Copies of this chain bind each other. A is one copy, B any other.
C-alpha cells in the first residue's frame, strides 16, 4: 500500500499523518516494527513479550472508516511491563510474576487502546520498577552499556526504532534517565494528572506514568490523549524570547564532563538563538531533598511490598525485604519531616519556576554506564519529588558521542506550556553548535 521507506523510523505523528492521508496502513506500520524487532531484539532485549494479535488488530483498525478512528489510530506502542494488560503477561520482571495475566488493562493502557493504539508488547524493566532484578536490555547505541532503569525496555525500543511511542513510569529517575542514556524524548507529567490504576505501586507519592517518543510532537500527542493539553494559564501568550533558568542542581560534583558540557552547550545555543538564559541557584534546603526522597521512597515501599514479603519469604528479592523491614532505620518522625520538606519545597519551587518559562537541568550524571545497573537517579529524584513536569531533550555534543540529554522543567501543572516551549527548544539543542535558521 505505501511507498514510504524505513517505515519503522517514522515518528508517531508522522505515522498518524501518513495513515490519515492513506499513504500508510496500520498493518504495514506494525509489520515494519515487528520486522525491526525481529532483526534487533536478540541483541537489544527491549521486550519481555510481544502481542501475537498485533497484526490482526492492525487489520481490524485499517478497516475502520475515518470517523471511527481514534487519536492514536493504528499506532503500535510499547508498554513497560509494570502496567497491567489483560491479553499479555504482566511480569514486573519479577520471578514471582512469570506468566501472570491480569484480568483488565491498566487505566492508561485502556485509554490508549480506546484511542486506537495497538499494544505491540511489554518492555523490560527493573523489577517492580523499583529494585531487585535489573532489566536485561542493552543500550542500542552501545550494547555493553545500560539503557538505564527502570524503564529500560521502553526507552531502548523507541531509540532503536522498534516502536514510535512507549509507556514508562518514574518514581526516582526511571523515565528521564533512560531517555538521556538512549537519546530519546521523554516526558514525566505533573504528579497526579494521569491515572496509575493497574500500575504496580512502589511509592505512592512519586510513582508517575511517563512516556517516550522520537520528537516533542510525539510527547505532546500522548499528553493530549491523557488530558494534559489543558493550559495552567489559559491567557498566557508565548513570548518571542524564552526566559530560561539553567541549574546543575545541588549535586554538581556528581556530574561527569559530558553532562556539564551538555548543560553549557544548551545554554550557549539557546542564547545564540535569542533566548534569555539565567544561572539559577536553588535554595539551600533543596540539597536535602534527595535524602528526604529516600526516606519516603523506602517507607512507602515498606507498605507496597509488605504482602509480597509475607507471602514469598526468601523467594522475594532481598531489596524488597530491605524496605519492608525498614533497614534504613528511619523513624516515623523522619517520615513526617520528609513529607513536610517535600510539601514546602513544592511551593517554593513553583514560586521560583514562575519567574521563568523553563528551567534546564541535567538528566543524568553522564553517559550510560557499562553494564546493566539502572544508574544514579540523583538528578531526577528531586524533580519527581517536586511533582513538576519534566521533559528530556537530547543534546548533540560537538563530536560523535553516546547520547546525553537535559531536562526541561516547569512549575506544577504547566505541562502544556512546557511542551510548547520544548517544541521550540529541541531543535536548538540538536543544532551541533550551529544557529537555527
Contact = CB atoms under 8 A, between A and B. Distances in A.
A80 interface: no
Nearest to A311: B114
A194 interface: yes
Nearest to A340: B347
A201 interface: yes
B200 A197 contact: yes
A29 to B, nearest CB: 22
A32 to B, nearest CB: 28
A340 to B, nearest CB: 5
Interface size class of A (residues with CB under 8 A): 35 or more
Interface string A295-307: 0000110111011
A412 B299 CA distance: 14
Interface in A256-298: none
A161 interface: no
A100 interface: yes
B200 A306 contact: no
Contacts of A230: 332
Given A114-B310, A336-B412, A343-B343, 18 more contacts: A100-B104, A102-B102, A102-B103, A107-B304, A110-B310, A192-B204, A192-B205, A196-B201, A197-B201, A197-B304, A204-B204, A227-B303, A230-B332, A336-B350, A336-B413, A339-B346, A343-B344, A343-B346
5 contacts: A195-B306, A227-B302, A332-B413, A336-B411, A339-B412
